Structures are given as structure tokens and as C-alpha cells.
Structure 1
Amino acid sequence: MTSKEKTGDAQREPLTPSEERVADFAQRDPLRFATITAAEIAAQTMTSDATVARTARKLGHAGIREWKRLCADSVDRAIGLDSNLRTQLSRLPERDEEGGQAIAIKRILSTSARSLVDLGDHLDTETFAEAVRAISEAGTATTFGLGTGFLAAEYLSLSLERTGIRSRATTGSGHMLADVFPRLQHEDVSVIVAPRLLTTDVLWHLEESLKRCHATVLISSAAPRRDVAEHLLHLSLPSEDDASMNRMICTFALIDVLAYELARLVPARAVERSAEVQKIRDRVNRLRKK
């Protein structure tokens, strides 16, 4: 929420240079502003808690909490599911347009293909190799995600299990994270799947993983704070507008690449686990035929 959205320039009390830095930060990065503390906002803007609170009042907000809530709401409107759907539909032909369905199919699939090519072109291979090595050597790989991110985290956990790596998928927010964090052990690798954005709960899990685990891997198109990024392995997804609808496709593709690379690293282990799974499947099939 910008200062102009909240109150007119002529109506508000003039901001000092330090207060302008706080207001500019909220306008430039509303998601981050909404998900960090007042002390962290002050540190980011080289001001103080008091300056942050004073800026909120001058802009017409009841307090910092209200300002942060409005920033969060503005992010939701900008990147919400309805906004994404409207953007995608605006790029497609009308249903009654001649050849509209065929055109739509080609455009959607072409966009998905471009996203995968972009993923391959921009993936940091050194970071990817470090992530593969860390997961391969982990006591357990704990995967975490929220919403559709959890679906990908479950798929990743299953893929790791099939290569012979012990893994478990977790999810949860708020108080539920109190049961998740104690499961993170020092010898573990925590893999956090957040394709689209880093919510407060995802950031909290990220910070706890860095404290508790041997290594932390983030799969996301969103960039973490610089002080956090230097301590984790960030497998970055495409973030361009054309790729915004295809991040889940890129996420699952990246998981497949991870799984195959882990299997290639220790092929005997992966083949043994796959054979074990297949034996169980064969047994189930025989029982069903009886």
C-alpha cells in the first residue's frame, strides 16, 4: 500500500528523509515489508523502530500492524490465483473465435515449453550439484510445502524414497509448525518447496531449517533475503511473466531432474529400491487376481 493510496500528498504530514526510506521500502517490496518485524524494517532502511511507527502514523495508518496488513492485501491482489487466471485468459483467444481452441492449446503448451527451456538455461548448475550432494549424504531429507507446494513436496519425498533416500513430506502453518520443527535433525537436509512466493510460515520454516539442519534447499521463483540466501541452496525457478503460470510444471520437472541425478550418483542403491517397490507391486497384482 503506497502513501498515495492511503492518503493524498496534500493531506499528509511531510515525511523526513528517513521516513521516506521506510515508505519507499513498503512500496518497493510490500511482501517483504509485510512479513518481517518492525526492527527488521528499521535495519533494512537504516532507521529505527520509532521512525517506522512514526511513518505509519503520518501515512494515516492506525499502526505498523495495519500498514503491514494492507501491504499483504496488496500482494494478494497482485499475485492471487484470480489475478493469475485473468492474466492467462487475457492471452488466449475467445471461445467462439474460429480455431480458438486449437490456438489456445498451442499457446498454453508453447508457454509451458518455453518455461522449461528457461529453467534449463538459467538453473545454477553449481548450486544444483551441491543440492544433489547434500541430499545424497543426508540422514533424512525432510520436504516441506504449503498448498500446491505441499503436493510437490510429497512428490519429491516419494521420488527420493524411490532412489533409496529416506525422506518424509511435511506441511503446516502457525501452531502446527511446533510439531514440524522438532523433527528437523542436524544430519538432515530440509528441502522447502515454495514455487510462487515466500509466505511468513515458509520463511519461518526456512529460518528454523537453517538453524537445525545440515543443509537447506529452497525451490522457488522468489528470492529470499540476502542474509538468508547466503546460507542456503536456492534452486531458482523462472520468474518472468510468461513463466508465471507454469511454475508448478517447472517445479515437478526440477524434482524429476533431482531424482534422476541422485539415482545416477548411486545407481545400485536406486535400482535396489526400485526393484523392492516393483516386487511389492507384483505381489499386490497377484493378490488382486485371486
Structure 2
Amino acid sequence: MKLLRYGPPGAEKPGILDDAGGIRDLSAVIPDISGEVLSDEGLEKVRALDPATLPVVEGNPRIGPCVGNIGTFICIGLNYSDHAKEAGMPVPTEPIVFLKAASAVCGPNDNVEIPRGSTKTDWEVELGVVIGKRAKYISEDEALDHVAGYCVANDVSEREFQSERGGQWTKGKSHDTFAPIGPWLVTRDDVPDPQNLDLWLEVDGVRRQNGNTGTMVFGVPKIISYLSHFMTLNPGDVISTGTPPGVGMGHKPDPIYLRPGQVMTLSVAGLGTQTQTTVKA
């Protein structure tokens, strides 16, 4: 099942993709794709519907972030060993955890802003995990039962702000538009193995990243279990699980970074494709 949110920023409505790839309106059935709607019970209510009986959404509306009212947006750093190598950092022995501001979340095809004063804005295609059931002190064996679904995420990063300005990584990760998610939330029953998904990213048509989630240092069950021992995960929280090699920071012989007017295209197998144009903030 592929769920999405469509409409103007801040006024998105919930929708579902039908068998022909068209959008059907869910707003008479659920208030949003958020919170308890993401529970097994909430999703089962939607799954029981015949999309063909729902109103057709005409035209080509803007696609918003696939989850609304996100409480916590959590990221895992250096979670592919080849990416750690290109960053010149050791492979982590425990997951590296940092947060993005929820205000950074945007739609999958919205413009991405280059912050004022930025010289090192970078790209990162990632698998996003959406929590559907409260998780606290859970085991790895239980972890996937707490997942509502998966999505494409772009962990856009300003490397100078992240690494050269002191303090935590969060300041280089949280500019407005630095967390495009979607186009869809694909429910977990349609993703039988989150550790076997190809993912890639292109800038201006040049392939920069190719990877597979099977090469993560820490898989999805480990990440969810690990996080649940440090914080409570709630329905609608999003976890961005790390990026494969090929980011601009790691380009040889010299790093390359985003400039206004460039186009990023990225995808995770089965989860849809994002396309963003970079603009000045």
C-alpha cells in the first residue's frame, strides 16, 4: 500500500495510490497520514478500502512529505562502511545518532534551499523508516513490528556547518528543506526485506551514488532497537538510516558541492523517486 499527502504546504490531504498509479482522496476516511493512523489498526482500516471507490484527485497536485506532524526526525551517521571511508572517519562500533529539526521536512519534489553563506551543501540518499507503534526498550526481534512503512529520504547536509562550526552535527542538517521525504509511505507488508533495497542519486543527470541497504553497518532492526534504549519512538517518528558512498564531500580528487540551479534525482527501489532543484535561501 502506497500512502501519500498532496496539496499546498501546510494544507496537505491524505491520499492513496490506486492500481493505475492515480491518487485517490482519503480525507473523508482519515485526518492525515500521521500518529495513530500509522498503527497496525489504523493502516488496516485503510487497507480494507477499495481505492476505486474513493474520489479521484485530478491534475498533478504538489506531493507533500509522506508523513505529517513528525515528532522526532532521527538520523544515523556513517552507516555504510564505504561512506565512512570516503569521509575519512572510522566505521562506527555503535550507531551514530543525531537529529534533524522537524522544520527541515519538505515534499519530495520541493526546491531545496542552499543556506545563506553555504559553500558545502551536499546530498545523501537514504532509506527512511516510519514508526507506527510506540517503541521503548524493544529487542531486535520485535523491531520491525513497530514499523509502519518506508520511504525515500534525502539527508541534505551543509558540511561546514556540520563539522567546522563546533558542536553537534544537527546545525548542518536542519536548514529548511534539508529533509525531503516521500513521494510515498510504502507500508511494511510491501517491503519484505528492508536490507535488500538498491538506492541511488544523480546530480544534473550524473550518477553520484549507488548502493544497497544490505551493506549497512547496522540494519533496520538494530537501529530501531538501539534507539528505543535511549528514547521512546512514537508513531510518525522518522528514522533516516544513513547513506552509501558517493556524496560530494568524498569526491576525489576534490570535493564537489551543490550550487543553485542544480537538479537532484534520487530513488530507493520500490519506494518512488524524488526530484529537487536547488535554489538560494
TM-score range, shorter chain: under 0.3
- Between Structure 1 and Structure 2, the one with more strand by share is 2
TM-score by length of structure 2 reads 0.22
- Determine which structure has greater relative contact order: mean sequence separation of CA pairs < 8 Å that are 6+ residues apart, divided by chain length: 2
Specify the structure having the higher radius of gyration (Cα): 1
